Structure 1
Amino acid sequence: MRKLKIGIVGCGGIANGKHLPAIKKNGNFEILAFCDLVKERAEKAKEEYGTQDSKIFTDYTQLLKEEGIEAVYVLTPNKSHSFISVAAMKAGKHVMCEKPMAKTYADAKLMLDTARETGRILTIGYQNRYRADSTYLKRACENGDLGEIYYAKAHALRRRAVPTWGVFLNEEEQGGGPLIDIGTHALDLTLWMMDNYEPESVMGSVYHKLGDQKETGNAFGEWDPEKFTVEDSAFGFIKMKNGATIHLESSWALNTLDADEAKTSLCGVKAGADMKDGLRINRVQYNKQCVEKPALDADGVAFFDGEAEKDSDIEQTVFYEAVVCGKELVVKPEQAIVVTRILEAIYESAKTGKAVYFD
Structure 2
Amino acid sequence: MKPIYIIILFLLACVVGANAQDKRPLSIALAGLSHDHVNLIMDHYKKKEINLVGIAESNKELVNKFKKSAGIPDSLFYDDLKKLLQKKRPEVVMAFNAINEHIDVVRICAPLKIEVMVEKPLATTVKDAEEIAVLSKKYNTMVLTNYETTWYGTNQEIYKRVKKGDIGDVVKMVAHDGHEGPKEIGCSPFFLDWLTDPVKNGAGALNDFGCYGANLFTWLMNNQMPVSVYAVTHQIKPAVYPKVDDDATIILEYPNATGIIEASWNWPYSIKDWEVFGKTGYLQAVNSKTLRTKTNKTAYEISEVASPQVPNQSYLAYVTAVLRKEITPGDDLSSLANNIIVVKILNAAKESARMGKKVLMQ
Same fold judged by TM-score > 0.5?
yes
Aligned twin of 1:8: 30
CA contact (8 A) 1:31 1:50 kept: no
The alpha carbon displacement at 1:158 in A equals 3.1
Structure 2 CA distance for partners of 1:50 and 1:321, relative to 1, 3 Å: farther
Aligned twin of 2:291: 279
The alpha carbon displacement at 1:206 in A equals 1.5
1:183 and 2:210 equivalent? Answer: yes
Aligned twin of 2:276: 266
The alpha carbon displacement at 1:325 in A equals 2.9
SS state of the match for residue 173, structure 1? coil
Aligned twin of 1:235: 249
Cα displacement string for residues 271-325 of structure 1 (whole angstroms, at most 9, x for unaligned residues): 11123473111103xxx33323222368xxxxxxxxx999996210110111123
Structure 2 CA distance for partners of 1:48 and 1:89, relative to 1, 3 Å: farther
The alpha carbon displacement at 1:180 in A equals 0.6
Aligned twin of 1:153: 174
SS state of the match for residue 289, structure 1? coil
The alpha carbon displacement at 1:115 in A equals 1.1
Task: Measure the CA separation in 2 of the matches of 1:134 and 1:23.
Answer: 28
CA contact (8 A) 1:33 1:55 kept: yes
CA contact (8 A) 2:45 2:52 kept: no
Task: Out of 12-21 and 336-345, give the one that drifted further.
Answer: 12-21
Task: Out of 171-180 and 137-146, give the one that drifted further.
Answer: 137-146
The alpha carbon displacement at 1:53 in A equals 8.1
Task: Measure the CA separation in 2 of the matches of 1:53 and 1:17.
Answer: 18
Aligned twin of 1:352: 355
Aligned twin of 2:123: 102
SS state of the match for residue 19, structure 1? helix
Structure 2 CA distance for partners of 1:353 and 1:310, relative to 1, 3 Å: farther
CA contact (8 A) 2:275 2:282 kept: yes
Q: Percent identity?
A: 21
Task: Out of 160-169 and 54-63, give the one that drifted further.
Answer: 160-169
Structure 2 CA distance for partners of 1:53 and 1:145, relative to 1, 3 Å: same
SS state of the match for residue 341, structure 1? helix
CA contact (8 A) 1:43 1:56 kept: no
Structure 2 CA distance for partners of 1:53 and 1:351, relative to 1, 3 Å: closer
Aligned CA RMSD, in angstroms, stands at 2.8
SS state of the match for residue 293, structure 1? strand
SS state of the match for residue 279, structure 1? strand
1:252 and 2:265 equivalent? Answer: yes
Aligned twin of 1:323: 323
Cα displacement string for residues 182-209 of structure 1 (whole angstroms, at most 9, x for unaligned residues): 2212332233234343211111111123
1:118 and 2:118 equivalent? Answer: no
1:295 and 2:295 equivalent? Answer: no
Task: Decide which of 21, 43, 63 is 2:43's aligned counterpart.
Answer: 21
Task: Measure the CA separation in 2 of the matches of 1:69 and 1:310.
Answer: 23
Task: Out of 138-147 and 333-342, give the one that drifted further.
Answer: 138-147
The alpha carbon displacement at 1:17 in A equals 2.6
Q: TM-score, normalised by structure 2?
A: 0.82
Aligned twin of 1:337: 340
User: Which 5+ residue runs of structure 2 have no aligned equivalent?
Assistant: 1-22
SS state of the match for residue 90, structure 2? coil
Aligned-partner residue type, residue 82 of structure 1: I
The alpha carbon displacement at 1:177 in A equals 0.6
CA contact (8 A) 2:223 2:341 kept: no
Aligned-partner residue type, residue 2 of structure 1: R
Aligned-partner residue type, residue 319 of structure 2: F
- When Rg is computed on C-alpha atoms for both structures, the one with the higher figure is 2
The alpha carbon displacement at 1:104 in A equals 0.9
Aligned-partner residue type, residue 81 of structure 1: H
1:133-144 alignment, distance < 5 Å: 133-144=154-165
1:152-231 alignment, distance < 5 Å: 152-159=173-180, 162=183, 165=189, 166-167=192-193, 168-212=195-239, 223=240, 228-231=242-245
Aligned twin of 2:97: 76
Q: How many residues align?
A: 329
